[in-house]
Structure 1
Amino acid sequence: MLSTDLPKETPVTGTPRRAVRLLLVAAASLCVLLPLLRGATAAGAMAEFGLGRGETVAAQLGSALAMLAAFLVAGRAVDVWGWPRVLRWALGVMVAGGAVAVSAQRPWTYLLGRTVEDAGSAGVLIAALASVPVLNLPGRITRVVGGAIAGVATAFVLGANVAVRIDAVAGWRLGESVLPAAAGLLLLVSFRLLPREHLPRSSVPVAPVCGPGVALAALLGVAGLELGPLRDWSDPLVGVLLCAAAVLLAVCRVRTVRLARRRPGRPALGVPARAAGGAVAAGATLGFAQLGLMATAPVLLLQRGVTLAHVTLAMSGYGLGMLGAGLVARHWRLTPLTGSSLGLPLAAVGLATLHFLPAGAGQAALVAGAVSTLVGFGLVVAQIPYLAGFLAALPRQRRAAASALYPAAILFGGVLAQAVPGSTSLLTGEASRRELETVLWVSCGVVALVAMLLGRPVVSLTVAGAAGLQHLLLVALAGDRVADRPGAAVAALAVGAAMGLVAWSRRQQSERLARVRANEVALQQAVLHPIPGRLGELRLVGHYQPATAGTGVGGDFFEAVRTPHGTRVLIGDVRGKGLQAVQTVTELLGCFRSQAHETADLGELAARLDRQLARLAAARGDEELFATALLLQHRDGGAQVEVVNCGHLAPLRIGPDGVRTTPVPALLPLGLGALGLGPSPAPTPLALPDGSALLLHTDGLSEARNSSGEFYPLGERLAALRATDPGRLVDDLAEDVRDWTHQLADDIALIALTRS
């Protein structure tokens, strides 16, 4: 239970929430546009400052460490001071870092400015994520995240095509000044839109999401993974960093377990493990696959003679895929299982298709654009439900600190992708064909593996199998010429995607059918209680078979209860079909279950059921509502049963002397008011000798027809079956009537009973 002195969330009062959301989307877009503009202007900056490989390695490592540290620090700062204040600070840091980089005269000053700007963008991202659960109800977070991603994707598409030309048109300094200027403008807007109140400090002890030891281990791990491919995995420094990170993480884990045992009431992270684990896995997959796509596809296109402008246009398809995923999530409710099963296999097929780009420049650009769109859609449509569920599950006390897990996972995914052999050569433009294929296959394999872990393996295998078989078929038909045909890659891509959609939809239908079946069984058991195997001195077996599959309950009914007056059994058939018949059955069974214990005379019990159904008919205005019913009672120690037949079929007695119809007179059905006009009907006694069984049934059994229209010969078939045990009798009869008719026209209810 939360204490009242926990820090309150800073409300956004007096400001339209739509304007605040637009501000946050614009701020998040800066984080996406920063690496695009940085990549476009890096060549000019490196040429002016004479940056070599050592400086590039240092800049890359510094940016990764600065962003990871900023995630952790900004998350804690948001929990202490609120996201509006941290958003303004982070925008200010971006402005300051960008200004230092743009005005730098020395290489290390430029690299320092870039690092500070990256740290500021990380803080902006944390503030934007932390604001989502504050500004929106949990049920709307998926739609909000979808809309935000659609907005960021639009900025990505526009920014990518502007960035490729900005260096040539304006020079690198003016190009890199665009984002600091935009951050400054958003900073001014934030002062006007967002509140400036300070959150009060909480007196409740809060456990940090990431302690100093874990944070240091993460920084050491990132440093080792960054330096490994850039220097060499055999470098002693790389080994020391990775080993130190692993040892420190293990020590922190042991310490956490010991503290939890000593102080069981100590606050923990609070995020459900399933939500956090799914978001981390999805985020790491996004970072890994995104870097694999962005590193390999441009190199493949440039090798085929595609111009840089057309390469950028083709890679803009990734943003279009993001846009489509955001719009889908905004208008349709996606579950994590749906997103993973549908999106990740499509992304894996898209990455695999990059191996088979056509040789022609124009055709290669078109196929790469289609592949980028599919990969962007697949990766992001899998992210949105996990991210939304994660944000909705964040603990109130340390919401922002916990939210840092997701962007940190994306960062780790990108760092791990750089550890793949050949990825460094891709970033420097010196990759061989073997290195290209290695990065692509590893990226494809990682996405496929995560698809099988987070989604449905059958969908992933269907997508991969269909695309692979299609490609093998094209190779067998066209041979070496398949590489020159753009339709080959597109066909493999389309077949895999289509088969994935078919497998996913079939799986959805199977699940819906299973849910319908479960609902059918639950409804049947709620309305028609299972017949007990033994009540008093009677052994009973019941069977119910609705005429229409998937309904569970129809117009037939039965019940058996143990009362102070003996064992009582009811079986009958309501006039009509559908939900109204089910309602009538429910009313009758409810009356029987209550009155069977209160009414000593079986005839009076039938009269009360008659009056109950008459009242129901009057309430509905249905003068033709009635039900046939047969009531049976057995008193302990007796060798006979008592029966009241209200327009129903007489029981059949099966014994050593064969099958016989019992002499039970039939009264008018229930609901016609006949039983209330005079004295209660007297029950008819029926002998039930040892070795004999009684069969109670509805007309659905005796009126079942075969293909020639002939009724089921019940007496003849019972004589042929020669079964007196209730269980065997019912099972054999149910199977025999299914063999007789190809389709039931009416429900069937059976009860077989004998004295034990």
Structure 2
Amino acid sequence: MTGTPRRAVRLLLVAAASLCVLLPLLRGATAAGAVVEFGLGRTEGVAAELGSALAMLTAFLVAGRAVDAWGWPRVLRWTLGAMVVGGTVAVTADRPWTYLLGRSVEDAGAAGVLIAALASVPVLNLPGRITRVVGGAIAGVATAFVLGANLAVRIDSLAGWRLGEAVLPVAAALLLLASLRLLPRDRLPRSTVRSGPVCGPGVAVAALLAVAGLELGPLRDWSDPLVGVLLCTAVALFAACRARSVLLARRRPEPPVPGVPVRAAGGAMAAGATLGFTQLALSAAVPVVLLQRGVTLTHVTLAMSGYGLGMLAAGLVARHWRLTPLTGSSLGLPLTAVGLASLHFLPADAGQAALLAGAVAVLVGFGLVVAQIPYLAGFLAALPRQRRAAASALYPVAILFGGVLGQTVPGSTALVTGEGGPRELGAVLWVACGVVALVAMLLGRPVVSLTVAAAAGTQHLLLVALAGERVADRPGAAVAALAVGAAMGLVAWSRRQQSERLARARASEIALQQAVLHPIPAHLGELRLTGHYQPATAGTGVGGDFFEAVRTPHGTRLLIGDVRGKGLQAVQTVTELLGCFRSQAHETADLGELAARLDRQLSRLAAARGDEELFATALLLQHRDGVDQVEVVNCGHLAPLRVGPDEVLTTPVPALLPLGLGALGLGPAPVPTPLALPDGSALLLHTDGLSEARNSSGEFYPLDERLSVLRAADPGRLVRGLAEDVRDWTHQLSDDIALIALTRA
């Protein structure tokens, strides 16, 4: 597609996907005319529902394999052609079974179009852009939904059912011509990488039997022997296929075929099933409750159009703001439950009921889709290259199963046929709320699940308190409950966003600290070491204190110090000093000369900044293998402390001027001071943030006294004890703390 504008291809795919949304709308609007003309009864109605579900499921599974073999452009053309053929047969049919056959072929073609559109997303877009692309596509599909819903309600009366049925085949034919012009016709080469099916024939047959049983159960009767046989056979076949795959894997272990990560697939399937289930509950409940209040069919359609407006808003949000599964579900699922619970309490007045139902539809549409988009985008980005389209079928299959399961709820069929009452309405809506809360828990979002339950429960209590049993006469109570529930959803979303920002800030803090201050290794040469760094300001990660330990040809060398100043300029100074130390420690044999080079580096940095007061205290330590002493150069820093089993001593190390003042470059390099390091004792190097930590009374931390109490010669125990002890001493650090404890191994 190098010669085709990518935007034109995306518009073509959005238009093709919109056909899948418009199909059930136009089908529902023209069904009454077809029923009258052909005299369709209950048997034909059951056959139509069952044929549509089985045709779509079969198309999902077959189209996915076909896309992997021949590419999505070719399969898109084939399935658009199937829609044209099936729609034409249905429009020109003169017998009921011919009409039903044409409908099934058209449904299968629409399902294949959806698979081709989904499979094209990760091919045409980089993974990081998929969320925005999906959001834009959903916004386009939502626009088509709103226009199609308001067209469908008038098309039968204006043009008759046959012309109404002809709209989609004509649209599919136009898109087919556009695809022939815009998309390449060359066949993609087959992949040489082994690619097993996402599900075998046995699992596919089990899925078909399960859908057939779940469709027939509410349409005929759950006590029908055929329903029981279908469901039992499906379960047995699935169990047998699973057992066979486990046995084959044990007998002939083979390299695993790349597949979709379980987390991505599970989240997308759970979200898709929730979408299918909740859509069915909404489409079954809203028309019934509005028609019972005397709302005209035109205004019912306008109210249901709010669902498309909610989808449109969700798509635009995903396109302009970064959504993660956590933020999407935190915002969307509580709002969905709030909207579903509100349908119990629509006012009796027809106009007010229609307005409030439209607001509820907007809320549910936005909530459902804003929770879908991050899971769908993550799923598409994680699809394996070898069988991308076959795996992409999992999401629409989950939506289909969700809708089929929604039909099994007691009362849902009665609502769809117009025979349901308040009891059936309440059962369907509360089950849908429970499903939303359960899915929130399954997705690993217990806080969201609790918010969903709390929102729905608070809504109910508020309505009872404000309106008592006369809820229908108090529309203000319903509006207040809806507002409270929506506010709870927004609070949950805001709280989750803050948590994610905090987690990202903490991750950045850790990354910055590890990039500038390398962790002190536990063993280096013949030394055992433990380091600890605690910035005074939470969330910064790095301050003005620094340390480093490296293994060089001249022995093990350590550096610890404190830069004058705070903030980003101090961090930059620390980075310069540590970079110089890490390079020069390997090249400079004399420890005193190494200190002089650090002094010159800091002097050059001060001159470049024009800062005459830039300096850093530092202590350099060196240990050569096979000796029981260390060498120390102290540049204005605190002297090391020797912690033994009987006493704590301040070592006699003379202090030179700090680094950066140029004193070390005026004469000969400083001479290191030797310090004995006997067995059973440890040296503690620290910055003044430890000794100058204050308690609430302003008293300094009694370092010598506390070390006498701790008396831990083990570096790990010594550092951990000091870190905990100083936290207990002061309620808030005023300076950074850097510690290194070392002993001979």
CA displacement at 1:311 relative to structure 2: 0.9
Render the CA deviation track for 1:27-82: whole Å, top value 9, x for unaligned: 22122111111111212221222221111111111111122222233333333333
Moved more, 46-55 or 511-520: 511-520
Render the CA deviation track for 1:526-562: whole Å, top value 9, x for unaligned: 5445667898998877654422222232222345678
Q: State the alpha-carbon separation in 2 of the partners of residues 269 and 653 from structure 1.
A: 57
Q: State the alpha-carbon separation in 2 of the partners of residues 536 and 205 from structure 1.
A: 49
Equivalent in 309, 328, 334 of residue 320 of structure 1: 309
Q: State the alpha-carbon separation in 2 of the partners of residues 721 and 420 from structure 1.
A: 69
Q: Please tell me whether the aligned partners of residues 341 and 459 of structure 2 are also in contact (alpha carbons under 8 angstroms).
A: no
Q: Please tell me whether the aligned partners of residues 467 and 492 of structure 1 are also in contact (alpha carbons under 8 angstroms).
A: no
Match of 1:195 in 2: 184
Match of 1:100 in 2: 89
Equivalent in 614, 635, 646 of residue 625 of structure 1: 614
Equivalent in 306, 319, 334 of residue 295 of structure 2: 306
Match of 2:341 in 1: 352
**Residue 554 in 1 paired to residue 540 in 2?**
no
CA displacement at 1:315 relative to structure 2: 0.7
Match of 1:680 in 2: 669
**Residue 453 in 1 paired to residue 442 in 2?**
yes
Q: State the alpha-carbon separation in 2 of the partners of residues 205 and 721 from structure 1.
A: 65
Q: Please tell me whether the aligned partners of residues 292 and 439 of structure 1 are also in contact (alpha carbons under 8 angstroms).
A: yes
Q: 1:363 to 1:542 in 2, by over 3 A?
A: same
Render the CA deviation track for 1:599-646: whole Å, top value 9, x for unaligned: 665544433432343344456554443222234567899998765432
Render the CA deviation track for 1:584-606: whole Å, top value 9, x for unaligned: 33443455566667766554443
Q: State the alpha-carbon separation in 2 of the partners of residues 755 and 507 from structure 1.
A: 48
For residue 177 of structure 1, give the secondary structure of its aligned residue in structure 2: helix
Q: Please tell me whether the aligned partners of residues 467 and 474 of structure 2 are also in contact (alpha carbons under 8 angstroms).
A: no
CA displacement at 1:320 relative to structure 2: 0.6
For residue 561 of structure 2, give the secondary structure of its aligned residue in structure 1: strand
Q: State the alpha-carbon separation in 2 of the partners of residues 337 and 576 from structure 1.
A: 40
For residue 430 of structure 2, give the secondary structure of its aligned residue in structure 1: helix
Q: Please tell me whether the aligned partners of residues 341 and 455 of structure 1 are also in contact (alpha carbons under 8 angstroms).
A: no
For residue 572 of structure 1, give the secondary structure of its aligned residue in structure 2: strand
Equivalent in 149, 157, 170 of residue 160 of structure 1: 149
Match of 1:723 in 2: 709
**Residue 215 in 1 paired to residue 204 in 2?**
yes
CA displacement at 1:658 relative to structure 2: 9.4
Equivalent in 63, 76, 81 of residue 70 of structure 2: 81
Q: Please tell me whether the aligned partners of residues 730 and 750 of structure 1 are also in contact (alpha carbons under 8 angstroms).
A: yes
Match of 1:7 in 2: none
**Residue 148 in 1 paired to residue 121 in 2?**
no
CA displacement at 1:449 relative to structure 2: 0.9
Match of 1:462 in 2: 451
Q: Please tell me whether the aligned partners of residues 161 and 313 of structure 1 are also in contact (alpha carbons under 8 angstroms).
A: yes
Equivalent in 367, 373, 379 of residue 362 of structure 2: 373
Number of residue-to-residue matches in the alignment = 742
Q: State the alpha-carbon separation in 1 of the partners of residues 73 and 209 from structure 2.
A: 31
Q: 1:129 to 1:703 in 2, by over 3 A?
A: closer
Q: State the alpha-carbon separation in 2 of the partners of residues 417 and 83 from structure 1.
A: 31
CA displacement at 1:156 relative to structure 2: 0.8
Moved more, 649-658 or 391-400: 649-658
Q: State the alpha-carbon separation in 1 of the partners of residues 507 and 718 from structure 2.
A: 27
**Residue 233 in 1 paired to residue 219 in 2?**
no
Q: State the alpha-carbon separation in 1 of the partners of residues 628 and 172 from structure 2.
A: 94
Q: State the alpha-carbon separation in 1 of the partners of residues 64 and 12 from structure 2.
A: 19
Match of 2:274 in 1: 285
Q: 1:27 to 1:597 in 2, by over 3 A?
A: closer
Q: Please tell me whether the aligned partners of residues 639 and 687 of structure 1 are also in contact (alpha carbons under 8 angstroms).
A: yes
Match of 1:125 in 2: 114
Render the CA deviation track for 1:118-167: whole Å, top value 9, x for unaligned: 22222222232233333333333322222121111111111111211222
Match of 1:70 in 2: 59
Gaps of 5+ in 1: 1-11
Moved more, 63-72 or 185-194: 185-194
Q: State the alpha-carbon separation in 1 of the partners of residues 628 and 381 from structure 2.
A: 67
Aligned letter for 2:67?
V
Aligned letter for 2:364?
V
For residue 630 of structure 1, give the secondary structure of its aligned residue in structure 2: strand
Aligned letter for 1:419?
T
Aligned letter for 1:681?
P
Render the CA deviation track for 1:435-474: whole Å, top value 9, x for unaligned: 2222212222112211222252102212321442243144
Match of 2:564 in 1: 575
Q: Please tell me whether the aligned partners of residues 539 and 726 of structure 1 are also in contact (alpha carbons under 8 angstroms).
A: no
Moved more, 560-569 or 30-39: 560-569
For residue 451 of structure 1, give the secondary structure of its aligned residue in structure 2: helix
Match of 2:577 in 1: 588
Aligned letter for 2:709?
A
Gaps of 5+ in 2: none
CA RMSD after TM alignment: 3.7
CA displacement at 1:650 relative to structure 2: 5.0
Q: State the alpha-carbon separation in 2 of the partners of residues 50 and 741 from structure 1.
A: 86
Match of 2:45 in 1: 56
Q: State the alpha-carbon separation in 2 of the partners of residues 134 and 691 from structure 1.
A: 64
Match of 1:439 in 2: 428
Q: Please tell me whether the aligned partners of residues 520 and 551 of structure 1 are also in contact (alpha carbons under 8 angstroms).
A: yes
- Within 5 A, what are the aligned runs for 1:581-620? 581-592=570-581, 602-618=591-607
Q: Please tell me whether the aligned partners of residues 191 and 386 of structure 2 are also in contact (alpha carbons under 8 angstroms).
A: no
Equivalent in 451, 465, 477 of residue 488 of structure 1: 477
Q: 1:385 to 1:751 in 2, by over 3 A?
A: closer
Q: 1:688 to 1:273 in 2, by over 3 A?
A: closer
Moved more, 230-239 or 639-648: 639-648
- Within 5 A, what are the aligned runs for 1:498-513? 498-513=487-502
Aligned letter for 1:44?
G
CA displacement at 1:313 relative to structure 2: 0.7
Q: State the alpha-carbon separation in 2 of the partners of residues 29 and 420 from structure 1.
A: 28
Q: State the alpha-carbon separation in 1 of the partners of residues 661 and 266 from structure 2.
A: 64
CA displacement at 1:430 relative to structure 2: 0.8
CA displacement at 1:372 relative to structure 2: 0.9
Q: 1:490 to 1:606 in 2, by over 3 A?
A: same
Aligned letter for 2:40?
L
Q: State the alpha-carbon separation in 1 of the partners of residues 677 and 122 from structure 2.
A: 71
Q: Please tell me whether the aligned partners of residues 645 and 711 of structure 2 are also in contact (alpha carbons under 8 angstroms).
A: no
Moved more, 32-41 or 584-593: 584-593
Q: 1:39 to 1:752 in 2, by over 3 A?
A: closer
Match of 1:517 in 2: 506
Match of 2:246 in 1: 257
Render the CA deviation track for 1:380-427: whole Å, top value 9, x for unaligned: 122222222333333344333333222222222111111222222122
Q: State the alpha-carbon separation in 2 of the partners of residues 732 and 650 from structure 1.
A: 20
Aligned letter for 2:659?
L
Render the CA deviation track for 1:633-685: whole Å, top value 9, x for unaligned: 67899998765432334567899999987765432222222223223334556
Q: 1:395 to 1:479 in 2, by over 3 A?
A: same
CA displacement at 1:565 relative to structure 2: 7.5
Aligned letter for 2:509?
E
Q: State the alpha-carbon separation in 1 of the partners of residues 739 and 197 from structure 2.
A: 65
Q: 1:479 to 1:261 in 2, by over 3 A?
A: same
Q: State the alpha-carbon separation in 2 of the partners of residues 264 and 720 from structure 1.
A: 61
Q: TM-score, normalised by structure 2?
A: 0.88
For residue 87 of structure 2, give the secondary structure of its aligned residue in structure 1: helix
Q: State the alpha-carbon separation in 2 of the partners of residues 746 and 677 from structure 1.
A: 32
Q: Please tell me whether the aligned partners of residues 654 and 724 of structure 1 are also in contact (alpha carbons under 8 angstroms).
A: no
CA displacement at 1:429 relative to structure 2: 1.0
Q: Please tell me whether the aligned partners of residues 656 and 692 of structure 1 are also in contact (alpha carbons under 8 angstroms).
A: yes
Q: 1:569 to 1:64 in 2, by over 3 A?
A: closer
For residue 480 of structure 1, give the secondary structure of its aligned residue in structure 2: coil
For residue 723 of structure 1, give the secondary structure of its aligned residue in structure 2: helix
Moved more, 678-687 or 393-402: 678-687
Q: Please tell me whether the aligned partners of residues 517 and 546 of structure 2 are also in contact (alpha carbons under 8 angstroms).
A: yes
Q: State the alpha-carbon separation in 2 of the partners of residues 363 and 151 from structure 1.
A: 29
